[in-house]
Chains A and B, each alone.
Chain A
Amino acid sequence: MSGPLEGIKVLDAGAFTVGPAACSLLGLMGAQAIRIEPPTLDGLLFVGTIAGGTGTSYISSHYNKKSIMLDLRSPLGKEIGTKLVKWADVLVNNRRLGALDRIGFGYNDLAKMNPRIIYIESTSYGATGPWSKYAAADHFVQAASGFASVNGKEGGEAEILRYATNADYTATLIILNAAIAGLIARQKTGKGQRIDTSHLQGTIAVQTSRLAEFFISGKNPALMGSVSSRVAPSEAFRTQDNKYINISADREEYWHKICKALELENIQDDPRFSTNEKRLKNRKELVPLIQEKVGDKPAYWWMLHFDRCGVPYGFNYDYVDLIRDPHINENKWLYDMDSSYGMLKGYASPWEFSRTPSEEMTPTVKYDCDRDEILAMLE
Chain B
Amino acid sequence: MTEVLGGIKVIDLTEEISGPLCSMYLGDMGAEVIKVESLEGDWARHIGPRIKGESNLFICHNRNKKSIAVDLTKPEGRQVVYDLVKGAGVFLESFDAGGAARLGVGYEDIKRINHNIVYCSISSFGETGCYKDRHASELELQGLAGYIQFLGEPGEEPVRVGSDVVEASSAFHALSGILAALYYRGKTGDGQKVGIAKLRSMIQMGAHWIQAFCNPDTYGGWYLTGPYDHAEHGYKTKDGSIVFSVLARAGKGIEAALESWVEFLKRVGLGELLEDPWFKYKGLRAIGLGRDAQEMKGLFETYFLDKTSDEMITMIDEIGGMGSAIYDYETLYGGAMHPQIQAVGAIQEMEHPVAGKVKVTALPWTMSDTPSQIKSAAPALGQHTDEILAGIGYKEDRIKKLRKSKIVA
Q: Are B207 and A226 in contact (CB under 8 A)?
A: no
Return the chain A residue nearest B136 by Cβ.
Answer: A312
A193 to chain B, nearest CB (A): 4
Count of chain A residues near B, Cβ 8 A: 168
Chain A residues within an 8 Å CB radius of B249? 43, 135
Q: Are B228 and A163 in contact (CB under 8 A)?
A: yes
Chain A residues within an 8 Å CB radius of B323? 140, 143
**CB of A362 closer than 8 Å to a CB of B:** no
Q: Are A43 and B179 in contact (CB under 8 A)?
A: no
Return the chain A residue nearest B218 by Cβ.
Answer: A50
**CB of B210 closer than 8 Å to a CB of A:** yes
**CB of B229 closer than 8 Å to a CB of A:** yes
From B160, B190, B215, B339, A355 is in contact (CB under 8 Å) with B190
A189 to chain B, nearest CB (A): 6
**How many Å lie between the Cα of A325 and that of B146 in the bound state?**
12
- Taking CB atoms and an 8 Å cut-off, the chain A residues in 180-199 that contact chain B are 180-185, 187-189, 191, 193-198
**Those 3 A-B pairs whose CB atoms lie nearest each other, nearest first:** A48-B225, A129-B343, A43-B250
**CB of B327 closer than 8 Å to a CB of A:** yes
Q: Are A146 and B220 in contact (CB under 8 A)?
A: no
* Sample of 10 further A-B pairs with CB below 8 A, known A143-B323, A230-B57, A250-B16: A140-B322, A141-B324, A144-B327, A162-B227, A162-B229, A204-B346, A208-B168, A209-B57, A236-B157, A351-B177
**CB of A300 closer than 8 Å to a CB of B:** no
Chain A residues within an 8 Å CB radius of B164? 206, 209-210
Chain A residues within an 8 Å CB radius of B277? none
Q: Which stretch in A74-82, A165-173, A264-272 binds the other chain?
A: A165-173
Contact with B along A196-228 (1 / 0, CB 8 A): 111011101111111111111111110111111
B389 to chain A, nearest CB (A): 28
Q: Are A174 and B365 in contact (CB under 8 A)?
A: yes
Chain A residues within an 8 Å CB radius of B57? 209, 212-213, 230
**CB of B313 closer than 8 Å to a CB of A:** yes
A248 to chain B, nearest CB (A): 4
Q: Are B369 and A248 in contact (CB under 8 A)?
A: no
**CB of A52 closer than 8 Å to a CB of B:** yes
**CB of B232 closer than 8 Å to a CB of A:** yes
Return the chain B residue nearest A315 by Cβ.
Answer: B143
Chain B residues within an 8 Å CB radius of A343? 214-215
Q: Are B172 and A129 in contact (CB under 8 A)?
A: no
**CB of B328 closer than 8 Å to a CB of A:** yes
Contact with B along A243-266 (1 / 0, CB 8 A): 010111011001000000000000
What would be 23 A-B contacts, judged by CB atoms less than 8 Å apart?
Answer: A4-B181, A38-B251, A49-B227, A50-B220, A51-B211, A51-B215, A56-B216, A125-B340, A160-B243, A163-B226, A163-B228, A177-B172, A177-B176, A195-B365, A198-B344, A204-B341, A205-B168, A211-B60, A212-B57, A234-B138, A312-B134, A314-B144, A351-B173
Q: Are A151 and B159 in contact (CB under 8 A)?
A: yes
Q: Are B139 and A49 in contact (CB under 8 A)?
A: no
Return the chain B residue nearest A200 by Cβ.
Answer: B344
**CB of B374 closer than 8 Å to a CB of A:** no
- Taking CB atoms and an 8 Å cut-off, the chain B residues in 203-251 that contact chain A are 203-234, 241-245, 247-251
Chain B residues within an 8 Å CB radius of A312? 134-137, 140
Q: Are A166 and B158 in contact (CB under 8 A)?
A: no
Chain A residues within an 8 Å CB radius of B360? 208
**CB of B403 closer than 8 Å to a CB of A:** no
B355 to chain A, nearest CB (A): 9
- Taking CB atoms and an 8 Å cut-off, the chain A residues in 54-84 that contact chain B are 55-57, 59-61
From B56, B184, B205, B370, A213 is in contact (CB under 8 Å) with B56
| B2, B228, B322 interface centre (most CB from chain A within 10 Å) | B322
Return the chain A residue nearest B185 by Cβ.
Answer: A4
Q: Are B204 and A347 in contact (CB under 8 A)?
A: yes
- Taking CB atoms and an 8 Å cut-off, the chain B residues in 125-176 that contact chain A are 125-132, 134-141, 143-152, 156-165, 167-169, 172-173, 175-176
* Given A4-B181, A44-B225, A206-B163, A169 and B207 contact (CB-CB distance below 8 Å): yes
Q: Are A143 and B369 in contact (CB under 8 A)?
A: no
* Given A174-B364, A228-B138, A351-B196, A60 and B179 contact (CB-CB distance below 8 Å): no
Chain A residues within an 8 Å CB radius of B359? 211, 215
Q: Are B368 and A354 in contact (CB under 8 A)?
A: no
Q: Are B327 and A145 in contact (CB under 8 A)?
A: yes
Q: Are A216 and B203 in contact (CB under 8 A)?
A: no
Chain B residues within an 8 Å CB radius of A29? 176, 180
Chain A residues within an 8 Å CB radius of B130? 326-327, 330
Chain A residues within an 8 Å CB radius of B333? 146, 211, 214-215
Q: Are A185 and B366 in contact (CB under 8 A)?
A: no
Return the chain B residue nearest A330 by Cβ.
Answer: B129
Q: Are B221 and A143 in contact (CB under 8 A)?
A: no
Chain A residues within an 8 Å CB radius of B212? 48-49, 56-57
**How many Å lie between the Cα of A271 and that of B4 in the bound state?**
50
Q: Are B179 and A181 in contact (CB under 8 A)?
A: yes
**CB of A286 closer than 8 Å to a CB of B:** no
A45 to chain B, nearest CB (A): 9
Return the chain B residue nearest A204 by Cβ.
Answer: B346
Q: Are A125 and B344 in contact (CB under 8 A)?
A: yes
Return the chain B residue nearest A332 by Cβ.
Answer: B129
Q: Are A57 and B225 in contact (CB under 8 A)?
A: yes
**How many Å lie between the Cα of A251 and that of B368 in the bound state?**
42
**CB of B286 closer than 8 Å to a CB of A:** no
* Given A134-B317, A149-B327, A215-B359, A180 and B196 contact (CB-CB distance below 8 Å): no
Return the chain B residue nearest A176 by Cβ.
Answer: B176
**CB of A1 closer than 8 Å to a CB of B:** no
**CB of B395 closer than 8 Å to a CB of A:** no
**How many Å lie between the Cα of A134 and that of B132 in the bound state?**
45
**How many Å lie between the Cα of A254 and that of B252 in the bound state?**
54
Q: Are A331 and B340 in contact (CB under 8 A)?
A: no
**CB of A333 closer than 8 Å to a CB of B:** yes
Chain B residues within an 8 Å CB radius of A345? 210-211, 213-214
A209 to chain B, nearest CB (A): 5
- Taking CB atoms and an 8 Å cut-off, the chain B residues in 2-43 that contact chain A are 2, 4-6, 16-17, 21, 25, 29, 43
B311 to chain A, nearest CB (A): 14
* Given A140-B322, A144-B325, A48 and B220 contact (CB-CB distance below 8 Å): yes
Q: Are A144 and B324 in contact (CB under 8 A)?
A: yes
Q: Are B365 and A353 in contact (CB under 8 A)?
A: no
